[in-house]
Amino acid sequence: MQRIRLRYTKRGRLRFTSHRDFQRAFERALRRAEVPMAYSAGFTPHPKVSYANAAPTGTGSEAEYLEIALTDARDPDTLCELLDESLPTGLDIIEAVESRTSGLADRLTASVWELRLDGVEAAQAEAAADAFIAAETVEVQRRTKNGMRTFDARAAVVSLEAAEASQVHDDGTDRPTDKACAILRLVVRHVTPAVRPDDVLSGLRAVADLAPPVPAAVTRLAQGLFDEETGTVTDPLAPDREAVKAASPASGGSATAAAATAPVPGSA
């Protein structure tokens, strides 16, 4: 059985698709691309697809991950192209790597988010971010299936700072605007309960009275293992790429050696 790990995006209007919507679209793409999927056992077999830490509905993402199991080996790059062609624009498969290491989900310990605050001055957003980071705790409330829950949104936040505003919009166009627009970059650890970007926005409202006039456009830029030394979020597929690269010359060398030592037919 071959396992392939995929990185995909949710862009533009497709950020409003739920995780279940994506699951249905992806399973249809698997059938269109004629991928030789492995299936679970039982009365209702399902394709073996493992989803890892999907972004909340309504947020965009450049770094979503999943893993599929195949009954026959396929070239990851070719598979990536076939699946991308079978999905709607906005749900884009941008990378495929053969799984050579364990624990993909264990390597998704933090995310980098971009919060686009239209109608907010950059100086106002920067001051609010500084107030949030300076606070020891920032209690926010979120409605759950068990009612309202209060928790600290500050502890999970590694960094929160203002970034230079980009003029590239969600629809992919690059058009100028004379309206105020602030950009915040957020690095947050994956903890329990999960701290989401909207929780941080609630915290900014609580500590600095920052209330954007329109809903913030939220995009996950990266997710992976948090490096304590550098304070960065690393690429979770890098270990698999390195393992594949390391195995390629070794396997080629082994095959060559085996061919060199194999007896020649007809020789005594």
Q: Tell me what the mean pLDDT of segment 234-261 comes to.
A: 69
Checking if the pLDDT of 208 tops 60, the result is yes
The third-level CATH classification (topology) of the domain covering 108-227 is Alpha-Beta Plaits (3.30.70)
Instruction: For 76-129, write each residue's pLDDT tens digit.
Output: 999 999 999 999 999 999 999 999 998 899 999 999 999 999 999 999 999 999
- pLDDT(186) > 60: yes
- pTM, full prediction: 0.85
pLDDT tier for residue 253 given thresholds of 50, 70 and 90? very low
The pLDDT assigned to 145 comes to 80
If phi > 0 it is left, if psi is from -120 to 50 it is alpha, else beta; for residue 53 that is: left
**Which of 56-70, 144-158, 194-208 comes out lowest in average pLDDT?**
144-158
pLDDT attached to residue 177: 54
Per-residue CA distances from 108 to 28, 95, 202 (Å)? 26, 17, 24
Question: How many angstroms from the chain centroid is the CA of residue 53?
Answer: 8
Q: Which of 113, 82, 95 is nearest to 9 (CA)?
A: 95
Residue-level length of the chain: 268
- Domain spans of the chain? 2-106, 108-227
Q: What is the reported pLDDT for 143?
A: 84
Residue 266 has pLDDT above 50, yes or no: no
> Residue 164: which pLDDT band, with cuts at 50, 70 and 90?
low
Asked if residues 204 and 128 have their Cβ atoms less than 8 Å apart, the reply is: yes
Look up the CATH number of domain 2-106. Answer: 3.30.70.580
What does the pLDDT average to over 18-45? Answer: 94
Q: What is d(CA 214, CA 264) in angstroms, rounded to the nearest whole number?
A: 76
Domains 2-106 and 108-227 share a fold: yes
For 123-153, the pLDDT digits (tens) are 999 999 999 999 999 999 988 888 888 999 9
Mean pLDDT of all residues in the chain?
A: 88
Tokens 């957020």 identify what position? 186
